[in-house]
């Protein structure tokens, strides 16, 4: 095994629990602490990526372009990354982000929709940016199908493709199998992005590393959607004990987590009942509130609704299924 490159996504995935209310001052404090601790890549955008600030996804308190520029100006060695989800962000926002100091773009699609990302990869390369592919909800498809999708991104110009455990639904075996399949099939780097809904974010990250992952993600104090991500400071400590530290200052990361990010956090993400349900069912965390409302309306445990949605492999954009499932359960058409 070799030491992986670490990307800290506190200022992007962490935007979800922060309700997208990061200020420029907060972003600079976090970015500076990460930079001084040796983190090589820092991701900064709305939780749903470029142009995510909207009624549908939640408005940002501060323009993401302002946040990107604020992070860039304090970083001496770290590079700034942004997330782009085709259909939310456009090439226009990507160019603006690059002008504000972004050097890496992580282009995210559902794990079955890599074909919609081609123009985004091509444009990123024209801008001189490093381009990373994100195959979201990767637990929903077999390693073989993920390889097919990853090859589409590789052909479009991706420098790396990530297996993304968006719902925190994977176990170490799942992470290992998917990363191993991509490593054997691709001629580019492979990454892994973990969520902690089932409490195994670090374990899954290590399984991915054992399978050959070149890049891993984390968030300070686990600040991220659902039950959070693999805590960057914990990931660094574990890697150091494995003699695979990629140049991170563990003590500075601990201090950043304790004294910089923790005072900003509205709550500590953890595998609560709701978060566990999301991971167990394998659905997006955005389904939770809708399922709770439907459950209250029809007298159905929302966990049963979410589990059925997971069985049906519902993805973002299929929220209308929630009422259908609740009605079927209320009528006795489905077992409870």
Feature table: binding site: 12-13, 166, 193, 195, 284
DSSP structural state of residue 224: S
Neighbour tally for 71: CB within 10 Å: 27
Residue 293: which region, alpha, beta or left (left: phi > 0; alpha: psi -120 to 50)? alpha
- Name the residue among 20, 1, 12, 39 with its Cα closest to residue 235: 39
First-to-last C-alpha distance (Å) of the chain: 45
Please enumerate in sequence order all residues whose Cβ is within 8 A of that of 120, keeping only pairs 6 or more positions apart, or say none.
84, 86, 91, 94, 105, 107, 131
Using DSSP, state whether 38 is helix, strand or coil: coil
Among 49, 9, 17, which residue's Cα sits nearest to residue 191?
9
Cα–Cα distance for residue pair 44/30, rounded to 1 Å: 11
75 vs 214: CA distance, rounded Å: 23
Catalytic residue check, 290: no
How many CB atoms are located within 10 Å of the residue 63 CB?
14
H or E segment at 7?
A: strand 5-11
Both tokens assigned to 217: 């993600």
10 Å CB burial of residue 125 (0-12, 13-18, 19+) is middle
Residues that constitute the known binding site for substrate:
12-13, 166, 193, 284
- Which of these is catalytic: 16, 20, 120, 290? 16
Active-site positions read 16
């Amino acid at each position: 095994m070799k030491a992986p490159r670490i990307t800290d996504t506190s200022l992007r995935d962490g935007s979800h629990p922060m309700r997208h209310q990061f200020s420029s001052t907060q972003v600079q404090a976090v970015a500076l602490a990460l930079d001084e601790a040796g983190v090589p890549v820092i991701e900064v955008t709305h939780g749903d990526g470029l142009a995510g600030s909207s009624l549908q996804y939640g408005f940002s308190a501060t323009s993401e372009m302002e946040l990107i520029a604020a992070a860039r100006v304090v970083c001496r060695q770290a590079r700034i990354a942004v997330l782009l989800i085709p259909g939310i962000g456009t090439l226009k926002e990507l160019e603006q982000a690059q002008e504000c100091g972004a050097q890496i773009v992580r282009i995210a699609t559902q794990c079955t929709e890599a074909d919609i990302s081609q123009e985004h990869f091509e444009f990123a390369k024209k801008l001189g940016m490093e381009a990373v592919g994100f195959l979201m909800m990767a637990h929903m498809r077999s390693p073989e199908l993920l390889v097919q999708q990853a090859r589409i991104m590789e052909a479009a110009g991706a420098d790396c493709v990530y297996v993304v455990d968006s719902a925190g639904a994977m176990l170490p075996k799942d992470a290992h199998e998917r990363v191993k399949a991509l490593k054997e099939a691709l001629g580019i780097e492979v990454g892994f992005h973990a969520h902690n809904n089932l409490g195994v974010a670090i374990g899954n990250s290590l399984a991915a590393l054992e399978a050959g992952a070149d890049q891993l993600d984390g968030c300070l104090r686990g600040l991220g959607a659902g039950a959070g991500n693999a805590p960057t400071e914990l990931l660094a400590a574990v890697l150091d004990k494995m003699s695979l530290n990629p140049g991170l200052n563990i003590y500075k990361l601990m201090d950043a987590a304790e004294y910089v990010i923790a005072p900003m956090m509205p709550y500590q993400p953890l595998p609560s009942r709701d978060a566990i349900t999301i991971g167990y069912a394998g659905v997006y965390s955005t389904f939770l509130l809708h399922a709770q409302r439907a459950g209250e309306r029809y007298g159905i445990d929302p966990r049963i609704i979410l589990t059925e949605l997971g069985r049906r492999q519902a993805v973002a954009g299929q929220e209308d299924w929630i009422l259908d499932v609740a009605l079927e359960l209320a009528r006795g058409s489905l077992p409870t």
